Amino acid sequence: MALIIDIADAIVSSLNDHEFSQDLTAERKYLPIFELPEMAELHVTVVAQSLERTEITKDGTDRADVQVAVFVQKKLAKIEDDGEVDDLMDLAQEIVLYLEGIGTFGGAVWSKTEHNPVVLPEHLDKLRQFTSVITLSLTAM
């Protein structure tokens, strides 16, 4: 299987093997497309995003820089209750710290996390839905 898919699958397995403050089942998708009524339940979606190979020695050894995104999404149930958003923010941070703590997925080593947007304003405003995107950068030699 493609390297980036092995890495994404390893992230999914790690997420599903851990107990977070909220029950979650992560899944890998090529494109996270959902209908709004589905979002009443928490969705954690792992998406392989990019892979860049760089030759690092003259004998042809190369390095693969990979980016994998983790989407944390849920339609808010309560009206004007920032507590629900706070809880989901806590969960997103838990996921970040947990994945950084593991550090290695499918032979690739974590190097950077971008948590951006922490909350997607358009989804919150127009759909009252929490969407947070965690992008992990990893390196495989």
Partner 1 sequence: MTDLIQTGVAWHDVQRKAYLSRLVTYQRGLDSVSVGATLGTFEEEGFDESGSIIRTRRIDFVVTAADLILDGAVVKPIPGDRIVEGTDTYEVLAVAGGEIYKIVGKAFRIHTRLIDE
User: Where do contacts with partner 1 occur on this chain (CB under 8 A)?
Assistant: 31-37, 39-40, 45, 47, 49, 69, 71, 73, 75, 79-80, 117, 120, 122-123, 125-129, 131, 133
Residue among 126, 18, 40 nearest 84 (CA)? 40
Contact 114, 96 (CB under 8 A): no
Q: Which H or E run contains 131?
A: strand 129-140
For partner 1, the closer CB: 39 or 108? 39
Least separation in angstroms between residue 131's CB and partner 1 is 6
Least separation in angstroms between residue 73's CB and partner 1 is 7
Residue among 33, 27, 24, 25 nearest 8 (CA)? 27
Least separation in angstroms between residue 62's CB and partner 1 is 27
Q: How far apart are CA 102 and CA 62, in angstroms?
A: 24
For partner 1, the closer CB: 68 or 140? 68
